[in-house]
Amino acid sequence: MDDWWRGCVIYQIYPRSFQDTDGDGIGDLPGIIARLDHVAKLGADAIWLSPIFRSPMADMGYDVSDYCDIDPLFGGLADFDALLARAHELGLKVILDMVLSHSSDQHPWFVESRANRDNPRADWYVWVDPGPDGMPPNNWVSVFGGPAWEWDSRRRQYYLHNFLTTQPDLNFHNPEVQEAMLEIMRFWLERGVDGFRLDTVNYYFHDRKLRPNPPASRDDPHPSVNPYEMQDHRYQKNRPDNLAFLGRMRALMDRYDERVLIGEVGETPQRAIEIMAEYTRGAGRLHMAYSFDMLGPEFSARHFRSRIAKYFKAAPDGWPCWSFSNHDVARHVTRWAAHAAGEDALARQAVAMLLSFPGSACLYQGE
């Protein structure tokens, strides 16, 4: 099997702001098709499309209401097939952003699940009875602030949401949910997709006992903007069950030629590289993963060297993917402006450095 992904350059496209062809002010799939020649001439090996599935867009597509259809904002399945065909003609692989840890609250699965406690999908999401005082079962908090539990008056239970209240977490402890996720992947693989970028890959499973998270280490910084960082989320994510399910995902991918699984690790700087390594070393896991370690304000040889060395020490047989910019952060030419004589010089220095790192590289559109 061709390990094309080793050392590849992936070009991330955020469809909404890339190229608009129908005059509604929102980028679309025909717009991406029109620019694929340019991306190929840059020397990219693959494109990563940020979410294009049907969505109410409460979180810009990271709240999916139909995993097997394209949101009309961007086009339709025929447009996607045309994009895939043109990309392959140009020698470009196509990687889809797959958001599996949670869905939109408008997904038919959740609509059915919240209707009552005895429907076929009643256990597809994480539902918990309130405590005797009516409070949530534990102290878990959302990445976006506030409790990770939302009260639902129909079921008279709380449901888990690691992100927005409109993004309920799926219950991966339910075998039916696991099968549904694999079937979604199979749908796109059969259509010819070359791989998936798995959003928040370390959030799939939660602690069955719902144990409370302990405080974060006192050595960890406590950002004033988000109390989420004040907890050690050992029971909310990074659960051992995750690795077993990644093995099932990898087994599915390996039935197809030249496909790739890339994981986004959502973790604190203190643990991100450790989780990256755990999820990519040995067989039966992700092909590669990336974290936010190089997406912050730090710009020094010491910082970059330490991240790379720490990864390969923990996973000598693993493979990382490094990036300086993406849709979640300000571009690196802005973040690191104080370290160069101008944006052009910094941009050239950064891309030369990024492409010299051992591993694969991901460029954000426009770089």
CATH number at residue 150: 3.90.400.10
Q: Is 267 a catalytic residue?
A: yes
Q: Is 199 a catalytic residue?
A: yes
What pLDDT does 217 receive? 83
Q: Are residues 133 and 108 in the same domain?
A: yes
What pLDDT does 321 receive? 97
Q: Are residues 119 and 69 in the same domain?
A: no
Asked whether residue 2 is assigned to any structural domain, the reply reads no
Q: Are residues 67 and 93 in the same domain?
A: yes
What pLDDT does 262 receive? 98
| pLDDT tens-place string over residues 231-268 | 999 999 999 999 999 999 999 999 999 999 999 999 98
pTM of the model: 0.96
What pLDDT does 224 receive? 57
Average pLDDT, the chain: 96
User: Distance between CA atoms of 37 and 32, rounded to whole angstroms?
Assistant: 10
Average pLDDT for 34-47: 98
Average pLDDT for 7-23: 98
More confident residue, 323 or 339: 323
> Dmax of the chain from CA atoms?
64
Q: Are residues 243 and 333 in the same domain?
A: yes
Average pLDDT for 179-186: 99
Q: Which two tokens stand for residue 204?
A: 């799939």
Asked whether residue 345 is assigned to any structural domain, the reply reads yes
More confident residue, 87 or 1: 87
Average pLDDT for 105-109: 99
Report whether pLDDT(112) > 80: yes
Catalytic position from the list 28, 97, 194, 267: 267
- Indicate the number of domains in the chain: 2
Angle between helices 272-280 and 301-314 (to 10 degrees): 40
Domain that holds residue 32: 9-101+174-204+239-364
Buried b (16+ CB within 10 A) or exposed e, 38-73: ebbeeebbbbbbbbbbbbebbbebbbbbebeebbeb
Report whether pLDDT(220) > 90: no
What pLDDT does 227 receive? 86
Catalytic position from the list 79, 97, 150, 199: 199
DSSP letters for 137-155: SS--B-TTSSBSEEEETTT
Report whether pLDDT(221) > 60: no
What pLDDT does 159 receive? 99
With contact defined as beta carbons under 8 Å apart, do 314 and 281 qualify? yes
What pLDDT does 341 receive? 74
Query: What proportion of the chain, given as a percentage, has pLDDT over 90?
Result: 90
Within 10 angstroms of residue 120's Cβ, the number of other Cβ atoms is 10
The CATH number linked to 15 is 3.20.20.80
pLDDT tier for residue 289 given thresholds of 50, 70 and 90: very high
61 backbone dihedrals φ, ψ, rounded to 5° = 95, -10
| pLDDT tens-place string over residues 294-307 | 999 999 999 999 99
Q: Are residues 259 and 357 in the same domain?
A: yes
